[in-house]
Amino acid sequence: MTDTSRRNFIRGTASAALLAASPVAPTARAADATKGRLAYEYQHVPVPLPFDAKSLQGLSEKLIQSHWENNYSGAVKALNVLRGRLAQAAGDANTPPYVYTGLKREQLLRTGSVVLHEQYFANLGGDGKAPADLRTRLAASFGSYDAWETEFRKIAMGLAGGSGWVMLGYNEQLKLLENHWMADHATAPAYTKPVLVLDMYEHAFHLDYGAAAAKYVDAFFTNLNWDSVAKRL
Amino acid sequence: MTDTSRRNFIRGTASAALLAASPVAPTARAADATKGRLAYEYQHVPVPLPFDAKSLQGLSEKLIQSHWENNYSGAVKALNVLRGRLAQAAGDANTPPYVYTGLKREQLLRTGSVVLHEQYFANLGGDGKAPADLRTRLAASFGSYDAWETEFRKIAMGLAGGSGWVMLGYNEQLKLLENHWMADHATAPAYTKPVLVLDMYEHAFHLDYGAAAAKYVDAFFTNLNWDSVAKRL
Amino acid sequence: MTDTSRRNFIRGTASAALLAASPVAPTARAADATKGRLAYEYQHVPVPLPFDAKSLQGLSEKLIQSHWENNYSGAVKALNVLRGRLAQAAGDANTPPYVYTGLKREQLLRTGSVVLHEQYFANLGGDGKAPADLRTRLAASFGSYDAWETEFRKIAMGLAGGSGWVMLGYNEQLKLLENHWMADHATAPAYTKPVLVLDMYEHAFHLDYGAAAAKYVDAFFTNLNWDSVAKRL
Amino acid sequence: MTDTSRRNFIRGTASAALLAASPVAPTARAADATKGRLAYEYQHVPVPLPFDAKSLQGLSEKLIQSHWENNYSGAVKALNVLRGRLAQAAGDANTPPYVYTGLKREQLLRTGSVVLHEQYFANLGGDGKAPADLRTRLAASFGSYDAWETEFRKIAMGLAGGSGWVMLGYNEQLKLLENHWMADHATAPAYTKPVLVLDMYEHAFHLDYGAAAAKYVDAFFTNLNWDSVAKRL
């Protein structure tokens, strides 16, 4: 996610919605970006799917396409609009703090959605076979690879029927590799690098599996791209 | 936060509560820790205050001591106990996922409390004078240093009377420096490095200021340790 | 929801899961229920759909059946099991408060799911035509019937892509009829009687509409049973 | 809470802040209130403390006064302002749903704060002696009066160090008397009548007890007004 070709800096807001809605490759962030007000003006551009939407096993093209377009790209678009709203409100002394924080919560929620969805899609497109060194690494934290997978799936099933994420993450402060339950896009372990994330919002599977969440988790594991996990660790 | 002298690995649980309750310097993590089950067995040891509790301006020794001992160290202790409970439940096939996630939420909450409190205390003990290069860096994201401080304080006041954190954080994925509203220890921006965190739980200030949250935020800025901010950026 | 034939009191836990999983008409609460420990022993029995699952317009039998069986009845079952777990933990002095509250949160979440789903299904099965007196009543609080519907739909769309409920509720303390945004089953306005509730969890519509939440809200209004709304007001 | 003398309807917003900030007895709701837009225009007036702030045992006048004035009345004021903001945004077709829901969340939070604080203060000012019939009633749900108190206190201690409420509530739909854990003002059991509520936000006790939450809970029970509990049951 360090590639600048994936991001873009747009001063105005006019073209933002347009850009945000189309999966075109973003141009580089403008050279004078550091002189701007990135916190208020940065306009994210959706990162294209890192695999062919037709290529997954047990996750239909229709589902993946809708997930990318409506849920992920929708969050990008909302986040871009919210930045404009925040810029307005930040400069308005009449905006009470508790009105401002209403906007900040929405920003936090969409920020989480954008970041986690990008991690999620980057986790897919693989053959699901965990290489030996990663199995060993997981065993070092969880006792065994199976113990890790059991907990990861248990958290997923505890979220089934609702929304949220399961994250295998590396806590940069405690120096720990752990699985986390996250109730929504705004729930997250502080200062933690996502290593493997599973979307348990129902939009991630209902079109294909209805309420059969366990089957969706199976499909997630089948398509898991362990290379991306390896890079993050 | 990378110093291993601050962490410790204890196989049993017997001595954990004792250790967790006393601010002694922890011993090094055992050499064979990577062969264990750190996710379930890691026992954190409270990091001592990085400054003399008597030395802050406008924040009393009594307040700081209570904050460190009861709120921060209490969270460490709870987190250590929870890991033991999780180990039990993870091995018990009769524990339904929705019971397990009850424990995971408590773990997430205490993990956030531990991480954020350590960041918070490390933010204090300074002279409050932001060096020119940091002011420039903040201006690059927020338009001006003052714009940054205005938003940071506005979020704080929006949380006043309740609980939560304000975080200036660097989003590792979006490559953005932003302020975030966080409703509690379990709310956080995903994949974000804390740079400057302000505790707005009422235990951080009521003993000294009652409901006068703005005065507490003033005191926070007066004692701000910009060196720690610089290191994180 | 006052009919005792809809509830049941079961001392043991053996038959609870069985009962909870089948939509049979529950028997009456045992006569000596008030001598028991209802808070820990009460076992809810799913209330059958108050309409034919095949009869709705624009909401398929498959969707409605899955919603009732998996999401609603699943919540009933989980809630019944949680009561048993709470009974165990309440009697165990070794259970720390922060472990106990993990269970209490799950109980709160499932309680909200059960209550709100029952209200939701009771809201459906009608012809969608708001009688004049109800339109007048809504106009008294919102300026006009249309203003009410506009806000109700706006809240729904703000939740689209995630989870939560929209509730038209009567606040018993403030004596106000208002629309509320609710992020999940555990979010609710205190001391408020639900009058009209709309499920915005994605399980309520993805099978039929995918991400097209607005079309689902249209279908909800088409099938709205205003008689149930009238009874609650 | 049914007394109309405690509420007031103000068309304009000019005098609202003034009124909201002073504990005067509100005048009756205007006769034509039902023709207005109460959902957007209702302006609540703080209910005076139902007891002398000096009269409680173990809870100082300073604490109680600050709690009433800053936390409770502050929430009333914020809620009144938010209604005006919602009225503006509701009429503005350019306000995206996810901006609107930011305001709705803040409204929900303050609504809970107002309702629960009024219940809380009405719970205090008594002699703490539970009459026999109430003890019997609680025993019917919890096995014994002591079992009820044990769970109520356990939930309180699980919230200590953070924020939230403990509620003994009567679920109008499930016909159950239960204790509930509530993480903040916006967390609540749906369709439940508060019977006894305990404020566990730290502003409720830190001035008097610091982090010693258990002592605060003791003081709460000492001053408990069981008459108010009886009336609600």
Q: Which residue has the higher pLDDT, C13 or C29?
A: C29
A66 versus B20: the higher-pLDDT residue is A66
CB distance D169 to D178 below 8 Å: yes
For residue C192, the cross-strand partners are C171
Q: Compute the average pLDDT of residues A161-171.
A: 97
Listed range (B32-41, B74-83, B141-150, D120-129) with the worst mean pLDDT: B32-41
Strand partners, B182: B165
Portion of chain B with pLDDT greater than 90, in percent = 83
Nearest to D190 by CA among C79, A154, A172: C79
Q: What is the pLDDT of residues D181-214, one digit of tens each?
A: 999 999 999 999 999 999 999 999 999 999 999 9
Give the Cα separation of B94 and D3 in Å (integer): 51
Tokens read off for C146: 């249309």
Residue C19: predicted pLDDT? 31
- The structural domains of chain C, with segments of one domain joined by +, span 4-123, 132-232
* All chains having 3 or more CB pairs closer than 8 angstroms to chain A: B, C, D
pLDDT of residue C16: 33
**Residues from chain C contacting residue D116 (CB–CB below 8 Å):** 190
pLDDT, tens only, C151-184 = 999 999 999 999 999 999 999 999 999 999 999 9
- Mean pLDDT, range D93-103, rounded to an integer: 96
Residue range B141-150, pLDDT digits in tens: 999 999 999 9
Q: How many helices (H) and strands (E) does chain D have?
A: 10, 3
Tens digits of residue pLDDT in A28-46: 343 334 457 999 999 999 9
Q: How far apart are CA D67 and CA B210, in angstroms?
A: 9
The answer to whether the CB atoms of C202 and A161 lie below 8 A apart is no
Please, are residues D101 and A106 in contact by the beta-carbon 8 Å criterion?
A: yes
Mean pLDDT for all residues in chain B = 88
Q: What is the mean pLDDT of residues B6-32?
A: 33
The one-letter code for the residue type at D17 is A
Say how many C-beta atoms besides its own lie within 10 A of residue C126's C-beta. 17
Q: What is the dihedral of CA A88, A94, A96, A102, to 10 degrees?
A: -20
Q: Residue C154: its chain D contacts at CB < 8 A?
A: 90, 97, 100-101
Extract the tokens encoding D64.
Answer: 């109680």
pLDDT classification of D31: cutoffs 50, 70, 90: very low
Question: Which chain C residues touch D97 with a CB distance below 8 Å?
Answer: 154-158, 160
Per cent of chain D over pLDDT 90 is 83
Closest CA to D13 of D75, D64, D77, D81: D81
In a mutagenesis test of the D interface, which of C105, C118, C191 is the best target, namely the one with the most D β-carbons within 10 Å? C191
Chain B residues inside the 8 Å CB shell of D70: 161, 210-211
Answer with the residue of higher pLDDT: C8 or B39.
B39
Q: Provide the pLDDT confidence category of residue D69 given band limits of 50, 70 and 90.
A: very high
CATH topology of domain B132-232: minor pseudopilin epsh fold (3.55.40)
Contact D98 A106 (CB under 8 A): yes
Closest to B98 (Cβ–Cβ): which among A1, A96, A158?
A: A158
- The whole-number pLDDT of residue D30 equals 37
CB contact under 8 A, A99 and D85: yes
Residue of chain C minimizing CA distance to B89: C99
D65 vs D68: CA distance, rounded Å? 5
Query: What is the pLDDT of chain C when averaged over all its residues?
Result: 88
Could you read off the pLDDT of C26-56 as tens digits, one per residue?
333 433 344 579 999 999 999 999 999 999 9
| Interface list for chain D against chain B, based on CB atoms closer than 8 Å | 62, 66, 70-71, 74-75, 109, 161-163, 183-185, 201-203, 206-207, 210-211
The arithmetic mean of pLDDT across residues D137-165, rounded, is 97
| Nearest chain C residue to D181, by CA | C104
CA distance A102 to chain B (A): 9
Q: Which residue has the higher pLDDT, C5 or D145?
A: D145
- The Cα–Cα gap between B150 and A105 comes to 17
Using the beta-carbon criterion (under 8 Å), do B163 and D201 form an inter-chain contact? yes
Q: Contacts of residue C96 in chain B, CB cutoff 8 Å?
A: 78, 81
* Residue A3: per-residue pLDDT: 35
Q: Distance from first CA to last CA of chain C, Å, rounded?
A: 14
**Rounded distance, CA D123 to CA C142, Å?**
33
**Of residues A120, A33, A21, the one with CA closest to residue B173:** A120
Percentage of chain A lying above the pLDDT 90 cut: 84
Please judge whether B102 and C106 are an interchain contact, meaning their C-beta atoms are less than 8 angstroms apart. Answer: yes
Residues of C in contact with A162 (CB under 8 A): 109, 163, 184-185, 201
Q: Are C168 and C141 in contact (CB under 8 A)?
A: no
Q: Is the pLDDT of residue D21 over 90?
A: no
Q: What is the pTM of this model?
A: 0.89
**CA distance, residue A71 to nearest chain C CA (Å):** 6
User: How much of chain D exceeds pLDDT 70, in percent?
Assistant: 85
Instruction: Give the model's pLDDT for residue C91.
Output: 86
By Cβ distance, the residue of B81, B101, B105 closest to C96 is B81
Q: What are chain B's partners, defined as 3 or more CB pairs within 8 angstroms? A: A, C, D
- Give B136 to chain A, closest Cα distance, Å: 9
Whether D28 has a pLDDT exceeding 60, the answer reads: no
Nearest chain C residue to B86 by CA: give it: C99
Among A109, A184, A203, beta carbon nearest to C202: A203
Distance CA C141, CA C147 (A): 9
pLDDT on residue B23: 32
User: Nearest C-alpha of chain A: how many angstroms from C45?
Assistant: 19
pLDDT tens digits, residue range A72-81?
999 999 999 9
Query: What average pLDDT does this structure show over A12-37?
Result: 38
Supply D157's token pair: 């201690």
CB D157, CB D220: distance < 8 Å? no
Give B162 to chain D, closest Cα distance, Å: 7
* Residues of chain C found within 8 Å of residue D190, distances taken between Cβ atoms: 111-112, 115-116, 119, 185, 188, 194
| Cα A222 to Cα A229: distance, rounded to the nearest angstrom | 14
Nearest CA in chain A to C209: A207
Residue C52 burial class via C-beta count within 10 angstroms: exposed 0-12, middle 13-18, buried 19 and up: exposed
